Amino acid sequence: MGDHFEKGQHALLNEGEENEMEIFGYQTHSCRKTLCLAGSIFSFGILPLVFYWKPAWHVWANCVPCSLQEADIVLLRTTDEFQTYSRKKVMWIYLSALNSAFGLTPDQPLITDEECLINRAIRKPELKVRYIKVQKIRYVWNNLEGQFQKIGSLEDWLSSAKIHLKFGSGLTREEQEIRRLICGPNTIDVEITPIWKLLIKEQSVKLYRLVESHNSITVPVCGRKAGVEELESRFLVPGDLLILTGNRVQMPCDAILLDGSCVVNEGMLTGESIPVTKTPLPQMDGSVPWKTQSEADYKRHILFCGTEVIQAKGACSRTVRAVVLQTGFNTAKGDLVRSILYPKPMNFKLYRDAIRFLLCLVVTATIGMIYTLCVYVLSGEAPGEVVRKALDVITIAVPPALPAALTTGIIYAQKRLKKRGIFCISPQRINVCGQLNLVCFDKTGTLTREGLDVWGVMPCDKNGFQEVHSFASGRALPWGPLCAAMASCHSLILLDETIQGDPLDLKMFEATNWEMAISGDNFHIKEVPAHAMVVKPSKTASQVPVEGIAILHQFPFSSALQRMTVIVQEMGGDRLAFMKGAPEKVASFCQPETVPASFVSELQIYTTQGFRVIALAYKKLEMDHHTTALARDKVEADLIFLGLLILENRLKEETKPVLEELISARIRTVMITVLHIDNYINIREEVSENTREGSYHFALSGKSFQVISQHFSSLLPKILMNGTIFARMSPGQKSSLVEEFQKLDYFVGMCGDGANDCGALKMAHVGISLSEHEASVASPFTSKTPNIACVPQLIKEGRAAFVTSFCMFKYMALYSMIQYVGVLLLYWETNSLSNYQFLFQDLAITTLIGATMNLNGAYPKLVPFRPVGRLISPPLLLSVIFNILLSLAMQTVGFILVQRQPWYNMGMYSACTVQNKSISNLTMPPTAPGKVESNDGFPSFENTTIWFLGTINCIIVALIFSKGKPFRQPTYKNYIFVLVLIVQLAVCLFILFADIPDLYRRLDLLCTPVLWRVCIVIMLSCNFIVSLIVEEAIIENRALWMIIKRYFGYQSKSQYRIWHRALANDPTWPPLNQMSPSDLPECDKEVSYSNPVFESNEEQL
């Protein structure tokens, strides 16, 4: 398709987003459609199947280009490297049905806001809307702007003030019906695929169950005139006003919290069942879009679909209200489901090479067809027989069992993984595991233990840091602002008499020996609500001059802000504000004179030892301000630094040996987290790594990564080549980092516990989730055992499955070529193999070999190199071509020699019918040399020789190609396979040397002299010895191929290899032991380090 389009025919859909697509307008042409219909009939349904796989051909064959405004068919093309096409029909929504109910008039806006997309999408006076549906999302035609736009959510340009004003009272019944008709139902439907479609599509029942419960929820909705009424969730529309009452409410849509506060379990999205506090969207003046009005993360105001509202609290006795933001597949849960239904295509060379391999077989079959036609036509055979023989060649040269044979290896690998507690929802990715050469790890919960332990606290005063208070001693923390901060600066909640919340908050609170309670109705303190959260000292706590502390207001923690703040009221004391968060961030809000001079050095001491460090600060507030009226920036200004809370997060027992195993196997390990950069440096130091002298590590923060990506993109590959530690990384930055590594041609694995890792897990070639929450559905692999021991096991099984795939490719190629050569030789004599002979080779030999060759388990040790990554590689091609030529030579020699035997010219018939007779007595009239009278004409000495040579050769090839070490268990440990080969060989030799007339007659064979049978065995033995020597001494000789590569100056074309060579020759890189003035240690600056780095010497064939 060219790049010249008619005016208005081409546009971009979802411009700038991850799922950006080009859209082209087309109009159905009646003549073309008629011709295609006729072609479908005359091709017996083949043409529709081609159009199904090639939607662009379907459109180009049936339609003519036109503008998008006039189009009834649109062609979509992704803008990524895959350029995937899809065809969509333009459909109409008719609003005329609402005319009688509401009396709609075309002259007036149907929705109050004229700028609303719905108003612009309605064509007047017909009152109808054009739309397309792409990957479950509706796009309506904007008549004013002349483009398709996504519908099903509130507009992004709305300000917070407009949202409160327009939707704070709910929608009218008329607006609800219009939005319901245009936006579609609020459902996340996963269709159960019909049986016939399963032939060409995959289906996940697990995914169906995941979304099944979403569509059957009833929620209270407030209408502008109708008041509050119960409504099924599928009828919700963007703009509806939800009333949240009680606890344990499942969110059926994405909604913006307008009033009150909510505690939500977002485990479905993050994989971590930690309560998250949601705050209402503030009413701020101005026309700035609501998402950018606040410096904090706007997501703190959103209740996401699929999450559970654990607790809903109204402010000042008001109800908790939320306005529906997005419905259906536009929601967070819908987006997760769509990412599973429509995954990013995988650019894996094995599958591309497999197509080329099949094309080569098709070309070979075509040559055989031409040869067959020439031979049989010149022989004067009947046309029907000529066509039948020619078609036989296709099924022989292109083995139909190839896909099934390849699939069995993956199935066996999947079963072995399942036994080890590793579950897979995308089996094709198992092969990809075998090519991994870089694995990214999340830290908390993945490399380290899930829980945190409070190690100690370091208070500070005017003189600097004081002595560390260790909690291991059992001494209670003395009363003071630091103790009060630890007791109250958190987001913990009391649910069913149990304290729940973030593990860090929980450990910090438990260290104070305080208790938590909810104030009763008789609780009367100025500006403190009746049901406020109150913390009180227990009997074992230190002496405290206050009865307790009431938590009045929270500014929740967000990863973007790296801090949280609370406003509290001491009972009988002061009103205070406490802050906790990242040390550098908290220190930046404090009065400089209160931050100790040794802040950076002390922080470095503990973070480099692997401790997690949190800073605390506070200030006194005036009593004459209402807590909800205080702006966050004012509350958080001019704080007094209190000290550092030191928490211990030890490595899991499995972490160190697994990392050492991967490093010894020359697999790069990269660590990513939201924690401080020094925590990772400690982990790297804990893992012994034998690196070369002069090598180095790079450690980056998320902020640095973002700046380099945006402004110094040419520098990014240099850093990534030796980047090992990426700290303070947001979920989006994790995904970007994985993608950047993929651009360097790394095969990237990502292992995380599901918390903030979902995007990276989906982006990586292989995502491994250590969480069993619903978010793990987005990851191809999920480990039941929550440690990284699954990673090397997965790589081992991947390598074994990958090698098995290559073995099966080679075997199936040789099996088809052995049959192909034998049949073409027999065609020269206008003969062929009989049905029973074909059946014996296909079922008794090849099918059993295909089912058992794949049973080899993975080799227990990871070697420091990967399997050959391509089918079209010199060793593999040489192996296949050499064995084809060897088989061709053997069968040709057998075919020629049998015709030169003295008993062949005598016209000898089957020796099985006569016993103890001499050759001279076993002759027939010379009128039919080499053949026996038969109705079908199959039995002949050539046929018998070729069949035995071909059948036993298939067994030999299976043994030669069944690889063991270094990626699979040795062949002799595959007991079933070895037993099958022994039985098959024994049966074939029995048939060869047994004189059983009935058996020979059923197999259409002729008995030959024993000497000739011995000659057949000798030819097969020579074939086996030569093939084995070449395979072991040349094909599998890795050292020899390294010498050949160096001799011819071959260099890998992978981007990371190219960069590695370039940096090795760059004397100015890396800029070691250099520090710019901007890097000087300050409170908000990070310290730079240099360490030895991993360097791979792996050679890719």
Q: Are strands 308-313 and 422-424 parallel, antiparallel or unpaired?
A: unpaired
CA-CA-CA-CA torsion sign (699, 702, 704, 709): positive
C-alpha to C-alpha distances, 534 to 152, 493, 494, 639, nearest whole angstrom: 42, 10, 10, 23
The pair phi, psi for residue 921, each rounded to 5°, is: -85, -10
- Other residues' Cβ atoms within 10 Å of the Cβ of residue 793: 22
Q: Any idea which residue has 């180095």 for tokens? A: 696
Q: Of 748, 760, 787, 759, whose CA–CA distance to 771 is shortest?
A: 787
Cβ atoms 892, 946 nearer than 8 A: no
The residue annotated as part of the active site, out of 442, 505, 753, 842, is: 442
Structure tokens belonging to residue 27: 């109009």
Counted residue by residue, the chain has a size of 1101
End-to-end Cα spacing for the chain:
36
CA-CA-CA-CA torsion sign (933, 935, 940, 942): positive
The pair phi, psi for residue 448, each rounded to 5°, is: -110, 170
Cβ-in-10-Å burial (0-12, 13-18, 19+) of 263 comes to: buried
Cβ atoms 683, 447 nearer than 8 A: yes
Angle between helices 481-488 and 503-511 (to 10 degrees): 140
- Please name the helix (run of DSSP H) or strand (run of DSSP E) that holds residue 578, with its range, or none: strand 575-581
Cβ atoms 950, 822 nearer than 8 A: yes
CA angle 1023/1028/1030 to nearest 5° reads: 100
**Residue 424 CA, distance from chain mean position:** 11
Structure tokens belonging to residue 807: 């073995």
Amino acid (one-letter) located at 256: I
Q: Beta strands of 29-135 (E only): which ranges? A: 63-65, 73-78, 85-89, 91-94, 128-134
Q: Of 660, 765, 778, 770, whose CA–CA distance to 421 is shortest?
A: 770
CA dist 295 and 898 (Å) reads: 89
**Residue 737 CA, distance from chain mean position:** 15
CA dist 490 and 481 (Å) reads: 15
In the three-class reduction of DSSP (H, G, I as helix; E, B as strand; rest coil), residue 90 is classed as: coil
Long-range contacts formed by 264-267: CB under 8 A, 24+ apart: 264/303, 264/304, 264/307, 264/308, 264/309, 264/310, 265/307, 265/308, 265/310, 266/304, 266/307, 267/307, 267/308, 267/773, 267/774, 267/775
Q: Of 1003, 974, 975, whose CA–CA distance to 990 is shortest?
A: 1003
Q: Any idea which residue has 């041609």 for tokens? A: 745
CA dist 825 and 813 (Å) reads: 18
C-alpha to C-alpha distances, 1083 to 35, 520, 599, 727, 933, nearest whole angstrom: 74, 43, 7, 17, 100
- Other residues' Cβ atoms within 10 Å of the Cβ of residue 246: 9
Catalytic residue flag (residue 442): yes
Catalytic residues: 442
